[in-house]
């Protein structure tokens, strides 16, 4: 049976909320009868993206309210 879980793949300080946040990836693991294939990435999200959608201020691409700001790419 296929399994899915979310794992943090990058941590950064978010100035919008004044705290560290995680970029998370949804990993989809293959069923047991396909053990040689690795996990696939289904989606990405910010660990605080849902809360950002509720505070009424434009924030970033991960909250879906400002596509020009991508906090996880800053400092690269
Ligand atoms: S969704 Fe964007 S603005 Fe909101 S906490 Fe995450 S990185 Fe920061």
**Spatial distance between the Cα atoms of 32 and 54, rounded to a whole number of angstroms:** 39
User: Residue 38 Cα, ligand 1 centroid: separation in angstroms?
Assistant: 29
The CA R_g of the chain, rounded to the nearest whole Å, is 15
pTM: 0.86
Q: 3-state DSSP call for residue 26?
A: strand
Residues 46 and 8: beta-carbon distance below 8 Å:
no
Segment 19-75, tens digit of pLDDT: 999 999 999 998 877 767 889 999 999 999 998 888 889 999 999 999 999 999 965
Q: How far is the CA of 76 from the centre of ligand 1 (A)?
A: 17
Alpha-carbon span 7 to 65, nearest angstrom: 23
Which residue from 23, 60, 65, 68 has its CB within 8 A of the most atoms of ligand 1, so it is best to mutate?
60
The pLDDT tens digits for 15-28 are 999 999 999 999 99
Nearest CA to ligand 1 atom 1: 49
- List the Cα angle 70/74/44 in 5-degree steps: 45
């Amino acid at each position: 049976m296929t399994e899915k879980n979310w794992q943090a793949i990058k941590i950064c300080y978010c100035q919008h909320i004044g705290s560290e946040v995680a970029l998370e990836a949804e990993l989809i693991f293959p069923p047991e009868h396909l053990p040689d294939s690795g996990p696939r990435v289904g989606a990405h999200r910010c660990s605080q993206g849902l809360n950002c959608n509720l505070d009424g201020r434009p924030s970033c691409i991960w909250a879906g309210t400002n596509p020009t700001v991508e906090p996880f790419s800053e400092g690269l």
